[in-house]
Amino acid sequence: MKFGKTLALFAALVLGFGAQATLAADAAADKAPIKIGVYLPLTGQNAFGGQLELEGVRLAHKEMPEVLGRPVELVVVDNKSDKVEAANAVKRLIERDKVVAFIGTYGSSLAMAGAEIGEKARVPGVGTSCTNPLVTQGKKYYFRACFIDPYQGAAAATYAKENLGFNKAAVLMDMTNDYAVGLSNFFTRSFKKLGGEVVANLKYSSGDQDFTAQLTELIAKNPDIVFMPAYFAEGAIIMKQARELGAKFRLMGADAMDNPDTVKLGGKAVEGFLHTTFPYDPTMANMSAEAKRFTEAWKKAYPDKDTNVNGALGYNCYFLILDAIKRAGKAEPEAIAKALAETVELPTALGKLSINATHDAEMPVGIIEYKDGKRVYVGEVTPK
């Protein structure tokens, strides 16, 4: 009998310790950091844009370092401006670092590579400035905090045709870049639909430094405007060479040209240059409370750097994910993905943001013009 009682007491003690251990583990889990991944191009061709977006993410994290009473830990991986590296970066974040969601990336080609990995693992990702429609097409777990290229391309065409009154356009695009190819197609389609004529569609490859042949042909075609959805470094070279050759046509780019260094690299050649952008600028009229908060926080954190759209996009992505976690009431990938899909009119630095049925953000398209060596936000346009 004594042995039986001793055994029963021992069993009770084991169960008691087990229950305490379970409670202790649950308590520890409740206080454990919530890991959010960030995969951006911090080196390579797209590094400048990726670094600006990372600064925006970190600024937001500094403002709101915890959610649901738990600290948020950022896990940052460089995708090196490479598709394979982008896929590997997301794989590492999910499998090794156990993130519950991830942010990124700048560059549609990179985002498409990362999105496939997140989709298979059922971990939600939020793209910063990846505007190609294919990024979210058919995806349940991938979202973006920016508008898409059909909308942006149509907005550029509308501004050129309706606002500027141009009837003849041409296109100069990087044929190796999904972002550039997509935007060029959407601009061409929309410009023709509005009654305009596209007199040339010329190509180059990423990394090219000499655009003399293409620009000479464009000058011969005599368009009113040339649409070139380039990244800012190549765009600056194209602008300089166009002016050196005596080109009289206007040049227009897209959001990838929205960079503080565009004027520095392009110099006097940027005069009259136009590009579409996201609806934020530190000089814009009627700035929202959220845009003011971002602007003031950026100036305080980075006094030597101008505020910029890429920083605002990174900033927005972080708050978009934290808002989803709050509404979900838990930091689990499935719950976060569901909450992200239900985002409606979230106040952000880029205006009220809603996620539509295709997981894309709905917001206006801004227009920038360079006048007297300065970047000027001239307003917004609704595509036709």
Confidence check: pLDDT of 1 > 50: no
The confidence score (pLDDT) of residue 18 equals 57
What is the pLDDT averaged over residues 255-273?
A: 89
What is the pLDDT averaged over residues 111-128?
A: 98
The pTM score is 0.78
Contacts of 300 (CB under 8 A, 6+ apart): none
For the chain, the distance separating the N- and C-terminal CA atoms, rounded to the nearest angstrom, is: 90
* Separation CA 107–CA 130 (nearest Å): 5
- Give me the residue label for tokens 């590492």: 92
Cβ-based neighbour number of residue 41 at 10 Å = 27
Lowest mean pLDDT among 32-36, 306-310, 353-357: 306-310
* Tokens encoding 151: 């909308």
Quickly state the pLDDT bin for 259 (edges 50, 70, 90). Answer: confident
* CATH architecture entry for 150-277: 3-Layer(aba) Sandwich (3.40)
Q: What is the DSSP letter of 268?
A: G
The confidence score (pLDDT) of residue 8 equals 54
C-alpha distances out from residue 62 to 72, 298, 312, 356, 358, Å? 10, 11, 14, 29, 31
Q: At the topology level of CATH, where does 32-147+287-364 sit?
A: Rossmann fold (3.40.50)
Confidence check: pLDDT of 268 > 90: yes
Confidence check: pLDDT of 30 > 80: no
Q: Decide if 354 contacts 343 (C-beta within 8 A).
A: yes
Q: Decide if 349 contacts 145 (C-beta within 8 A).
A: no
Alpha carbon 12 to chain centroid distance?
56
| Residue 24 or residue 171, greater confidence | 171
Quickly state the pLDDT bin for 20 (edges 50, 70, 90). Answer: low
DSSP class per residue in 321-338:
HHHHHHHHTS--HHHHHH
* Backbone φ, ψ for residue 143 (5° rounding): -130, 175
Do the first three CATH levels of 32-147+287-364 and 150-277 match, i.e. the same topology? yes
Read off the pLDDT of residues 51-73 as tens digits, 9 standing for 90 and up: 999 999 999 999 999 999 999 99
Read off the pLDDT of residues 374-384 as tens digits, 9 standing for 90 and up: 889 998 898 88
C-alpha distances out from residue 273 to 82, 113, 142, 190, Å? 29, 32, 33, 20
The confidence score (pLDDT) of residue 187 equals 97
Confidence check: pLDDT of 306 > 90: no
Read off the pLDDT of residues 233-251 as tens digits, 9 standing for 90 and up: 899 999 999 999 999 999 9
Bridge partners of 38, per DSSP, are 76, 103
The confidence score (pLDDT) of residue 233 equals 86
What mean pLDDT value characterizes the chain?
91
Bridge partners of 216, per DSSP, are none
351-355 sheet: strands from edge to edge: 346-348, 351-355, 361-362
What is the pLDDT averaged over residues 261-280?
A: 91
- Per DSSP, the three-state class of 224 is coil
* Separation CA 259–CA 78 (nearest Å): 20
* Backbone φ, ψ for residue 214 (5° rounding): -65, -45
Ramachandran category for residue 225: left, alpha or beta (phi over 0 → left; psi -120 to 50 → alpha): beta
All structural domains of the chain with their residue ranges:
32-147+287-364, 150-277
Confidence check: pLDDT of 362 > 50: yes
Task: Note the helical H segments in the chain.
Answer: 2-31, 47-63, 83-95, 108-121, 149-158, 178-193, 212-221, 232-244, 262-266, 289-301, 309-328, 333-341
Residue 370: name the closest of 167, 241, 232 by CA: 232
Confidence check: pLDDT of 24 > 50: no
The confidence score (pLDDT) of residue 17 equals 52
Q: Decide if 34 contacts 100 (C-beta within 8 A).
A: yes
The confidence score (pLDDT) of residue 373 equals 87
The confidence score (pLDDT) of residue 253 equals 97
Read off the pLDDT of residues 164-209 as tens digits, 9 standing for 90 and up: 999 999 999 999 988 899 999 999 999 999 999 999 999 999 889 9
Q: At what angle do helices 47-63 and 232-244 cross, to 10 degrees?
A: 140
Q: Decide if 371 contacts 384 (C-beta within 8 A).
A: no
HSE-CB at 219 with a 13 A cutoff on CA atoms is 14
The confidence score (pLDDT) of residue 261 equals 81
The confidence score (pLDDT) of residue 251 equals 98
* Tokens encoding 188: 């061409």
- Per DSSP, the three-state class of 249 is coil
Q: Decide if 257 contacts 207 (C-beta within 8 A).
A: no
Confidence check: pLDDT of 6 > 70: no
What is the pLDDT averaged over residues 298-306?
A: 94
The confidence score (pLDDT) of residue 59 equals 98
Quickly state the pLDDT bin for 334 (edges 50, 70, 90). Answer: very high
